[in-house]
Structure 1
Amino acid sequence: MKTYVLTVTCPSTRGIVAAISGYLTEKGCNIVDSSQFDDLGTGKFFMRVSFISEEGVAREALVKGFEPIAAKFAMDVDFHDASQRMKVLLMVSRFGHCLNDLLYRWKIGALPID
C-alpha cells in the first residue's frame, strides 16, 4: 500500500471536501489525515489530505482521474508520494527554540525532509 499526500488550493465554494473524499473512496483509498482552511479574506480554500491507496492505484492514475474535479473547482492540485523526501527551505528571522526543534527532529529522522 502506498501513502500519498494531496494538496489543493482553489476558490472557496460548497462541495469541495465531499468531491475530494468521494473521489478517493471511489479509487479505493483510505484517508488517514485531513486538514482544510478557508481564508475568508481572500476567498481561497486550502486542503491537505494524507491517504493510503489500499487497492494499489498508481499516482499517475489518481492524477489523471482527478482532472475533472480539479477543473470543476478551478483547483491547483498536487499529489505527493509520501515515501519521497521533500526539499524544504527554512527561513528564520531569529534563532530560537522553534528552529532548534525543527533541526533536532530532522536530525533524528522524525521529519522526512531534505
Structure 2
Amino acid sequence: MTNNRFVLTLSCDDRPGIVAAVTTELADLGANIAESDQFWDQVTNKFFMRIAILAPEGVTREQVQRAIDPAIARFDLKTTLKDQAIRPKIIIMVSKFDHAMLHLLYQIRVGWLDAEVAAIVSNHEDSRRTAEIEGIPFYHLPVTKETKSEQEEKLLRLVQETGADLVVLARYMQVLSDSLSKRLFGKVINIHHSFLPSFKGAKPYHQAHQRGVKMIGATGHYVTPDLDEGPIIEQDAERVSHALSAEDFVARGRDIESRVLARAVKYHLENRVMIVGNKTIVFTP
C-alpha cells in the first residue's frame, strides 16, 4: 500500500494534552507517525513540535487538516502542514564563486536534496554555461546602484511566477535591500563565510588569517534587513593553524560553505526549521 506523506509543525503555549490531542486525531484518520520531534522552551513556556505523517492512500492534505482542526482550536496552535508529494522549488542566486551552487546541484542530482531548481540568477554571466548543461533557466541581472531596485523587482516577479518556495544565496555577493528582505522573510537563505557576527565584509578568511584564529567556519542563516544577522540555521567549523596561508583558509572555507549551505537548505525544505524571533529551532534528522 502506498502512503501519502505530510509534515506538520506546530507551536503554542505549553500545557498538558497537546501531543495526545493531535496524535489521537491522526490515529482516527488511520495515519501513522513516522517521525516526531518536540521542544519545550522553559523560559517562554512555548512548545514546538514537528511530526512526519504517513497517511493511508487516498487521504488528502485537506482531510488531515480537518482532522487536526479541533486540536488547533482547543490549544490555539500555530501550524503548517506540507504535502511531501509536492516537490519544493528553489531559485539559486550566485555571483562568480560557484562552488556552493555546484554542490547544491550535485546533491539534488543524487537525490539527497529533494528540490527543483526553477532558476539560476546571477549578476554575472559566469554560471550561464552551468545552467545550460543542467537545463535550468538562467537570468542575468547585473546590479548597479542605479539598477538595484529594478533588478530586485524582476527577482520578486520571478519568485512569484515560478512559485519558488526558497531563494538560496549561494555566494551571491550583493546585499538585498531592506524592502526585499522583509517581503521574502523566511524564504531566503544565505551562506556567510565565517561565524557570524565575526569577520563581516570583504575577505573574511584573510581577516581571520591576520587575527591568527584557530577555527574557521561558515554560517547558513535566513536573510533579514540586518546584514548578516538573520536567524542561524546551521554552522560548521574546522581547525586551522599558523602553518596555513590565507589561500589555504579560503580553500578549506569553500568546502565548509558548500556543506553548511546544503544542510541549511535541506533542513528548510524538510520543514525542520522554526523561526522564533531572532533565532531558530532546528529538528535535525
What TM-score do you get using the length of structure 1 for normalisation? 0.81
Contact 2:191 2:260 survives alignment (8 Å): no
Q: Say if 1:70 and 1:76, in contact at 8 Å, map to a contact too.
A: yes
Partner of 1:54: 56
Return the offset for 1:64.
1.8
- RMSD between superposed Cα atoms in Å: 2.5
Call closer, same or farther: CA 1:62–1:43 in 2, change over 3 Å: same
Between the aligned partners of 1:7 and 1:73, the Cα distance in structure 2 is 14
d(CA) in 1 for partners of 2:84, 2:58: 14
| Cα distance change on mapping 1:101 and 1:18 into 2, 3 Å | same
Bigger CA radius of gyration: 2
Corresponding residue for 2:258?
100
Q: Which moved more, 1:89-98 or 1:15-24?
A: 89-98
Q: Which residue of 1 aligns with 2:82?
A: 80
* CA–CA distance in structure 1, aligned partners of residues 193 and 72 of structure 2: 39
Q: How many residues are paired up? A: 110
Structure 1 unpaired stretches of 5+: none
Change (3 A) 1:48 1:99: farther
2:26–2:68 Cα contact (<8 Å) kept: no
Residue aligning to 2:190: 91
Q: Could you tell me which runs of 5 or more consecutive residues in structure 2 were left unpaired when the two chains were aligned.
A: 90-164, 167-187, 195-217, 219-235, 237-255, 270-285
Give identity over the alignment, percent: 31
Following TM superposition, by how much is the alpha carbon of 1:33 offset from its aligned partner in structure 2, in angstroms? 0.3
TM alignment of 1:1-114, pairs within 5 A: 1-84=3-86, 85=88, 87-88=165-166, 89-95=188-194, 96=218, 97=236, 99-104=257-262, 111=266, 113=269
- Asked whether the equivalents of residues 30 and 52 of structure 1 are also in contact (C-alpha less than 8 Å), the reply is yes
Residue equivalent to 2:246: none
What amino acid is aligned across from residue 12 of structure 2 in structure 1? Answer: C
Deviation larger for 48-57 or 4-13:
48-57
Q: 1:99 to 1:73 in 2, by over 3 A?
A: farther
CA contact (8 A) 2:26 2:67 kept: no
Higher relative contact order (CA 8 A, sep 6+): 1
Single out whichever of 73-82 and 50-59 deviates more from structure 2. Answer: 50-59
Task: Give yes or no for contact 1:29–1:55 (8 Å, CA) kept in 2.
Answer: no
The one-letter amino acid paired with 1:94 is H
Equivalent residues of 1:4, 1:51 under 8 A apart: yes
**Secondary structure of 1:50's partner?**
strand
Task: Using the TM superposition, name which of 13-22 and 52-61 deviates more.
Answer: 52-61
Change (3 A) 1:102 1:61: same
Cα 1:99/1:47, change in 2 over 3 Å: farther
Offset, 1:63: 0.9
CA-to-aligned-CA distance 1:18-44 (integer Å, 9 cap, x gap):
111111111010110000000111111
Aligned in 2, Cα 1:32/1:94: closer, same or farther, shift over 3 Å? same
Residues of 2 paired with 1:24 and 1:51: CA distance? Answer: 8
